[in-house]
Structure 1
């Protein structure tokens, strides 16, 4: 590689521009997230090139020097933005999200944020309340790659006696394995496919393999071929940015487009050719943005997200604001590049010292930031936002009497809402996404008539209240629930892909119902479950309900639970920012009850033998659906009930169920 590659600097500009415009929600650039994949290829190419030159010159990697250089290049800007964002969290982020944000900050300081997001099941492309540290996931992947790749390359260099083709073949096999794992995980567990190193390593390895092949590319690729290859690569990048959306199944095979397109541009840049894509990428604006791309990537995300958190996620910032923030990120990134990145990277104190000085500074910085984050985490977790006022513990009633503020005796407290789940979760009765063997959990007299609750997590939310209502009638209560899997026999998908474990589970549950018909089956599902695209959603629900009801034994009475309101965003976060005005967090009734499955259930109750159980009057007034009734918080997230409110509905459920129970 000859000096600073202007084409690569221009590629960095394209990549960061795509990401920033996507995060600013600019129309027409919904696929801008592929900019991260471009960065991966560029990083793999440059790092592998540096390591190969060191190996050819000295025969060794020089791990301490390599990691010291990486630390000086990456950590000063990273840690500075991290520290400033931690401060921003306590100024702008809702109190209910601060503990999670501090967990993320600690993970960033320890170089593992991508695994925190993977374990949490974060949907990067469809997250309505994203972490202000979410963009650090890609740095985690790169840092972990830097830890392993030099060792792999060095071992291959020694064992294969510097034979470039043999080294490329071995590393290529590892890259192919990573790609296959990524495609498989995208279909089975998309968060891990998106955030983890092993399904993403092939993207960095693609750049590394190109670095190994660079001499061959320079020797064999003609100038006319370089021109075609380079412009085709840029076209592929543009197509990905424009055509891909949040609904695209990603990474999977879709990631091949940005990776191969970026590799094509880099390969074309190896061959001098008049009229090539380099003539575009070497223009001054591309060079400027490429130079500050790292700082711009770090700065732009918290700059967009902290104001959004301040106004509330239920009120998305308008385009002119997000675009203005994206523009503001450019001079801020330049300041950080000019006065932090470069000075620290080239500082004599580090550059002329032994590598251990840089590594010690990196370790010290990580430890301090991790410790600060943990202390802040403890403080945030123990904070309980409320007005200090107390209200009476009144049960839900009709007409609904909403509470207009956040009471001190709120049950559960805002900071505990997400953990206020039905007991069937801790008891192992709620199946996860991969399980397909039914796991019914029963309570009540074993000889009594049985009432089965069947459905997804939106069915599980009714379990506390239903169990009390059924057992008070002297009957036996059984749950059959699985996350993200409606009992309605619709063509279910998950993250845009088939959901075979759901299909198998529903078939198995139906077999059990036919073998031992219960007295009553209560069907409940999230009415906005993901369905195949291109078909009328309401019709899919109607057909699925009719199919389900027809297969349930004729001697079993079928009840349809009308789903709880869907807020679209978490009202808990809104409440923590509007302690004295809880009404600001209510949703219009017309919006909260607009799901296609709701209408289908109402029609099914008229057209089939099923009966509808509708508690909407306990959730909504004539115009709005509030978040607090009495001293009870209704929701633990955007559409799931707290176990506390579900239990409080037991008397109402008893009254609704009485005509249908044995």
Structure 2
């Protein structure tokens, strides 16, 4: 319930992702209980039987959903995304999706366009855990002379070591701490320790008051689900809270008497969800991700749509449970034959997924990424009509649009969110050319190619100063909902350099996005924006200053949308009236007007938009590499219009 509602956009359950941690504890508890009972009864573990049962339990539903997800993604998603979809499908078929996402440095809680197979990471953890856990228990049971309490000590040491590894790795690589088995095994191990505890016969476990632990566990899970969010440092120490809550819930639920939570958890609707929970987990994620990806936007689906998709997942999960999950577990042909047959069938099913992935990859590679018509080379002209199709000579090609980024990123001249070095980078060696300081966030970096052209031609000397998500505004800002202190340090350093070097022109550029500012009680965002810009302008004493009007913001990712609208490129363009944050534009205009004659506005909107739309393709050039950054190709073409605007300001 927590995971499905969280992925369905219920913001109140901002920590609903901890449902996976609860699953780990339950899984570790159940499998350890089963293995300990087997060891007590038989004195040994039949590994062939164990793995055959696990395969029949887990793989049929998982691999079927993987194939259906692959096909659905091929039908509805952009062909540009299919390479990552296919890679995810193959990693899933090979039971290593968690390491696939770790290698990609995936941020599970921050991904705007997550993989349709991303939810399989937890199954990868579980499957890999099953490889070593039975052997560990069997060896421990033998070494400790069949004494469970001694084996429990061994399991506690392994679990504690895994938890320590998780905490330590968080400071090195959060994705690896999140996705790798060694740093997540402790959560399943915690469930295993609960199994040992409940089998220990401790007197306090049979006390009626112990049932209160179940309610404490439920309260703890509710508190975590309501207070954790995407900014919580996770897993690490934070993951201990849902794990301990789940453990308390299991221990308290096993206690006798009326104080435990059995009556609540035994109600029919919860029992139904419990029965279909595995199938529900499998189907709910692609139902959310594929429709969102089909919109070609990073914006989440409207809440009502996400909730509807979450609701649709329930009957689909029931069908999967009744028609696949349960029947295969009891399939006589597999249960009564040698266990190796189950392994062969499982390997064959995985091979089917791999082959299907290869087929989808081959078909996707043949899909065209342009029409068969060409367009005249782009030139910067006012009121561009836009090209109504994707030209065969389009620049950059659609599969290269997202990477057509300013050179400052590769050369290290653009500061990351962690870097506060205000040194800047110089381009142009004509000592007689006017010195222009470019200052701002990634939108300023988008203008670097245009200004670089002017610098290389000797018309200016460029000093480029840009930092990701850092507005050139003297006001408190945030990044990922946290105070953005490195932004303030960097901005102050750049302003000091401007004061020392006294350039001929300071060019400010920024992304007009209201979510970048920290809230100031009693002050509206436009007012805070105006005051922040006014404060920055007041600090620049001597040089002329120009403030760029922001480029239009598109609603759709250009490459993804164009790849499915080869003959109707205008369908991907944003209407002009929706392309700008007008209240922030007006706030900037007010600050510029109040600053006096030394500050000018540079507005190049006429080269991006006509009266109706702001096209994505102009001539044979793609304008944007994403929803709000210019491609390097188009930025270079704007060098001459830029010069026409700033030349009078440098005299």
TM-score calculated relative to the size of structure 2: 0.84
Q: Does 1:602 align with 2:586?
A: no
Q: Secondary structure at the match of 1:33?
A: helix
Distance in 1, matches of 2:487 and 2:126, equals 35
Distance in 1, matches of 2:41 and 2:486, equals 54
Distance in 1, matches of 2:447 and 2:498, equals 20
Distance in 2, matches of 1:431 and 1:59, equals 61
Distance in 2, matches of 1:416 and 1:479, equals 25
Q: Secondary structure at the match of 1:401?
A: coil
Give the corresponding residue for 1:33.
Answer: 17
Moved more, 327-336 or 194-203: 194-203
Distance in 2, matches of 1:649 and 1:332, equals 52
Q: Secondary structure at the match of 2:648?
A: coil
Give the corresponding residue for 1:566.
Answer: 553
Give the corresponding residue for 1:294.
Answer: 278
Give the corresponding residue for 1:617.
Answer: 606
Contact kept in structure 2, 1:522 and 1:560, CA below 8 Å = yes
Q: Does 1:212 align with 2:196?
A: yes
Residue 293 of structure 1, CA deviation: 1.2
Does the C-alpha gap of structure 1 residues 277 and 430 become closer, same or farther in structure 2, counting only changes over 3 Å?
same
Contact kept in structure 2, 1:168 and 1:212, CA below 8 Å = no
From 329, 336, 340, the counterpart of 1:345: 329
Contact kept in structure 2, 1:485 and 1:502, CA below 8 Å = yes
Equivalent residues in 2 for 1:73-88, closer than 5 Å: 73-88=57-72
Q: Secondary structure at the match of 2:464?
A: strand
Equivalent residues in 2 for 1:78-117, closer than 5 Å: 78-117=62-101
From 587, 604, 609, the counterpart of 2:574: 587
Equivalent residues in 2 for 1:188-587, closer than 5 Å: 195-197=179-181, 200-215=184-199, 219-221=203-205, 223-241=207-225, 255-310=239-294, 313=297, 322-351=306-335, 357-377=341-361, 379-381=363-365, 383-437=367-421, 440-445=424-429, 447=431, 449-499=434-484, 502=487, 505-506=490-491, 509=494, 516=501, 518-528=503-513, 530-532=516-518, 536-546=524-534, 548-549=536-537, 554-587=541-574
Distance in 1, matches of 2:50 and 2:519, equals 48
Residue 121 of structure 1, CA deviation: 5.6
Residue 96 of structure 1, CA deviation: 2.9
Residue 503 of structure 1, CA deviation: 5.2
Contact kept in structure 2, 1:430 and 1:481, CA below 8 Å = yes
Q: Does 1:24 align with 2:13?
A: no
Distance in 1, matches of 2:49 and 2:467, equals 51
From 648, 658, 662, the counterpart of 2:647: 658
Equivalent residues in 2 for 1:38-53, closer than 5 Å: 38-53=22-37
Distance in 2, matches of 1:19 and 1:61, equals 34
Does the C-alpha gap of structure 1 residues 213 and 437 become closer, same or farther in structure 2, counting only changes over 3 Å?
farther
Q: Which has the larger radius of gyration?
A: 2
Equivalent residues in 2 for 1:125-204, closer than 5 Å: 125=109, 127-147=111-131, 163-164=150-151, 166-167=153-154, 169-178=156-165, 180-181=167-168, 184=171, 195-197=179-181, 200-204=184-188
Contact kept in structure 1, 2:208 and 2:255, CA below 8 Å = no
The runs of 5 or more residues in structure 2 that have no matched partner are none
Residue 426 of structure 1, CA deviation: 3.4
Q: Secondary structure at the match of 1:452?
A: strand
Does the C-alpha gap of structure 1 residues 503 and 324 become closer, same or farther in structure 2, counting only changes over 3 Å?
closer
Distance in 2, matches of 1:595 and 1:126, equals 28
| Deviation string, structure 1 residues 398-441 (Cα, Å, up to 9, x no partner) | 22322333333332233322122223333343344444446744
Moved more, 132-141 or 461-470: 132-141
Distance in 2, matches of 1:347 and 1:322, equals 36
CA-atom RMSD in angstroms: 3.8
Does the C-alpha gap of structure 1 residues 226 and 127 become closer, same or farther in structure 2, counting only changes over 3 Å?
same
Residue 208 of structure 1, CA deviation: 3.2
TM-score calculated relative to the size of structure 1: 0.83
Distance in 2, matches of 1:520 and 1:503, equals 22
Does the C-alpha gap of structure 1 residues 117 and 650 become closer, same or farther in structure 2, counting only changes over 3 Å?
farther
Contact kept in structure 2, 1:314 and 1:574, CA below 8 Å = no
Distance in 1, matches of 2:190 and 2:326, equals 28
Moved more, 433-442 or 228-237: 433-442
From 613, 626, 631, the counterpart of 1:642: 631
Distance in 2, matches of 1:237 and 1:174, equals 24
Residue 82 of structure 1, CA deviation: 0.8
Q: Secondary structure at the match of 2:157?
A: helix
Distance in 2, matches of 1:357 and 1:501, equals 59
Residue 54 of structure 1, CA deviation: 5.1
Contact kept in structure 2, 1:171 and 1:209, CA below 8 Å = no
Q: Secondary structure at the match of 1:292?
A: helix
Moved more, 283-292 or 382-391: 382-391
Does the C-alpha gap of structure 1 residues 194 and 612 become closer, same or farther in structure 2, counting only changes over 3 Å?
farther
Contact kept in structure 1, 2:383 and 2:611, CA below 8 Å = no
| Deviation string, structure 1 residues 199-218 (Cα, Å, up to 9, x no partner) | 54544343233333334585
Distance in 2, matches of 1:55 and 1:420, equals 60
Moved more, 39-48 or 238-247: 238-247
Does the C-alpha gap of structure 1 residues 584 and 83 become closer, same or farther in structure 2, counting only changes over 3 Å?
same
Moved more, 400-409 or 286-295: 400-409
Q: Secondary structure at the match of 1:272?
A: coil
Aligned residues: 642
From 612, 615, 619, the counterpart of 1:630: 619
Distance in 2, matches of 1:484 and 1:148, equals 45
Q: Secondary structure at the match of 2:116?
A: coil
